[in-house]
Structure 1
Amino acid sequence: METFPIYLRRLDKRKTVLIGGNHEAEHKAEQLLDRNAKLTVISPRLTKKMLWWAIQNRFQWFRRTYEQGDLEGAFMAIVADYEGDTNKKVYQEARERNILVNVMDDIPHANFAFGSIVKQGPLTISISTSGAAPALSVRLRQRFEEEFGPEYGAFLEFMQKLREPMSRHHDSFETRRKLWYELIDSEVLTHFRNGDLEKAYDRTAEIIGEKLVEEALDIEKVAQ
């Protein structure tokens, strides 16, 4: 089955309903909460970690099984644990309400799929085999987690700090584009990997100018 990958934003503004309280539900809830999702969980029982999140009011919890109408006002529904024909009922309600729905490990009752995710700060890599071999997605994720370490997160956070000074000092898109590629292709990332921030900042200054780096670092200090 052909799929089209997208990344959803503003999940804090739109309701997501998660049905289930097992470890698969916990994993999905953690991913959603990390992105500040407005989350509702429906399940008669929860894992210890999910129960702690519920006590902290990190999501709304209905301590029961799914009922018709639970998807009212939802943007997305996820079924991680169910009994009987709950999967079919949730899918039918989601279709009637034009809601994104995923019943885990039940492709016929899903209109979207989750990829295996590698995340390091702003970097997100999603891997999918379109249902052909999910185990391969897992192995690729494990490989990428080793290849793309925390230095990528630190590097990208620094790049984000540079965006405003770059736009302010360089009106030309082509100039900015050229400088961004010089940064990406330079040794700056290697210096982050080695934990040598001074060399990373110095090399960046050689490419885009010391003033821009100073402004970016000042912005970072204010943010802290």
Structure 2
Amino acid sequence: MRIRVERGTEIDDENRFYPIFVSLEDRVCLVIGGGEVAQRKVAGLLRFGAVIRIVAKDLTCRLEERCDGTRVRWIGRDYEPGCLDAVDLVFAATSDVELNRRISADARARKLWCNMASDPEMGTFIVPSMVTRGALNLAVSTGGASPALAREIREKLEKEFGPEWGPYIRLMGYLRKVIQSMGLESSENQRLFRAIAALPILSWIQEGRRGEILRGLQDVCGPRLGIEGLNALLDELWKPFSSSSQPCATPPEPSAT
């Protein structure tokens, strides 16, 4: 790790990208390029509710299919600085390295964040390799040094964190809200949170042992839990696994770009 001191502050030169999760709902994202790299960028952005403008002379068939004129709009011309007007994020995803660098420079001049497909470390933000399990997002980045290594680490995480983590996180979020609504003392809330976390709920989900989940939570929380609401949630969580008693048998969700 290389540390330099600037104006009395230590700066880590090997980790210059600050990890952050950003809401893109209804944010305008400009993707410049119409090939497979741009196609992957657009697919990832759509999952998080972005409004997308694509600047390119030609598009892949899949990209063209996505252009509906509202959520995804195709601007069929070459890039020019004016394309950066009224956008929130920029993705330079062309096959022309020099053009990508020019786009990045133009974005910097306007104080816009820009992701560069060809030179990730030269952009102002990078898109990590991700594993998504419901509300759980695991992001992996090498700071642009080795995207291939980031993908390899992501693939290992996909095996370690299977699809059962999606319903597990959702269930834990539900229980947290229920307990907070009980009007208990903060110390009692914390005791219940710790007791629930100590239950082998993840294993019970993996093994399809719904009855064990109900009994375990009743033992910890007592009648205040509200079994009807919990049963309704479990009904919903179990739907994707109706053809199998084991949730982990279902295929994993696709990773973000």
What TM-score results when the alignment is normalised by the length of structure 1?
0.87
Q: Say if 2:30 and 2:52, in contact at 8 Å, map to a contact too.
A: yes
Cα RMSD after superposing both structures? 2.5
Q: Which residue of 1 aligns with 2:247?
A: none
The C-alpha deviation readout for 1:32-57, integer Å capped at 9, x for no partner, is 11111121111222222222211485
* Higher-helix-fraction structure: 1
Q: Does 1:54 align with 2:75?
A: no
Q: Which residue of 1 aligns with 2:243?
A: none
> Aligned in 2, Cα 1:42/1:187: closer, same or farther, shift over 3 Å?
same
Q: Say if 1:75 and 1:99, in contact at 8 Å, map to a contact too.
A: yes
Q: 2:210 aligns with which of 194, 197, 205?
A: 197
- Counting aligned pairs with the same residue, the percent is 26
Could you tell me how far 1:213 is from its partner in structure 2? 4.7
Q: 2:222 aligns with which of 209, 213, 219?
A: 209
Q: Which residue of 1 aligns with 2:18?
A: 4
Could you tell me how far 1:210 is from its partner in structure 2? 4.2
Distance 1:20 1:47 in 2: 10
Structure 1's unaligned 5+ residue stretches are: none
Q: Say if 1:69 and 1:93, in contact at 8 Å, map to a contact too.
A: no
Q: Which residue of 1 aligns with 2:91?
A: 78
Distance 2:183 2:88 in 1: 40
Distance 1:176 1:21 in 2: 52
Structure 2's unaligned 5+ residue stretches are: 1-13, 238-257
Q: Say if 1:205 and 1:213, in contact at 8 Å, map to a contact too.
A: no
Q: Say if 1:165 and 1:215, in contact at 8 Å, map to a contact too.
A: no
Which of 1 and 2 has higher RCO (CA within 8 Å, sep 6+)? 2
SS of equivalent to 2:84:
coil
What TM-score results when the alignment is normalised by the length of structure 2?
0.77
Correspondences of 1:1-224 after superposition (within 5 Å)? 1-2=14-15, 3-9=17-23, 11-55=24-68, 57-83=70-96, 85-107=98-120, 109-214=122-227, 216-217=229-230, 220=233
SS of equivalent to 1:126:
strand
Distance 2:91 2:156 in 1: 27
AA at the equivalent of 1:103: M
Larger gyration radius, structure 1 or structure 2: 2
Q: Say if 2:53 and 2:74, in contact at 8 Å, map to a contact too.
A: yes
The C-alpha deviation readout for 1:95-143, integer Å capped at 9, x for no partner, is 1221111111313530111111010110000011223332221111001
AA at the equivalent of 2:94: D
Q: Say if 1:162 and 1:216, in contact at 8 Å, map to a contact too.
A: no
> Aligned in 2, Cα 1:78/1:215: closer, same or farther, shift over 3 Å?
farther
Q: How many residues align?
A: 223
Could you tell me how far 1:215 is from its partner in structure 2? 5.9
Could you tell me how far 1:157 is from its partner in structure 2? 1.4
AA at the equivalent of 2:217: T
Q: Say if 2:90 and 2:107, in contact at 8 Å, map to a contact too.
A: yes
Distance 2:35 2:220 in 1: 51
Which stretch of structure 1 is more off in the superposition, 134-143 or 55-64?
55-64
SS of equivalent to 1:93:
helix
Could you tell me how far 1:85 is from its partner in structure 2? 3.1
Distance 1:92 1:194 in 2: 53
Could you tell me how far 1:183 is from its partner in structure 2? 2.3
Which stretch of structure 1 is more off in the superposition, 53-62 or 161-170?
53-62
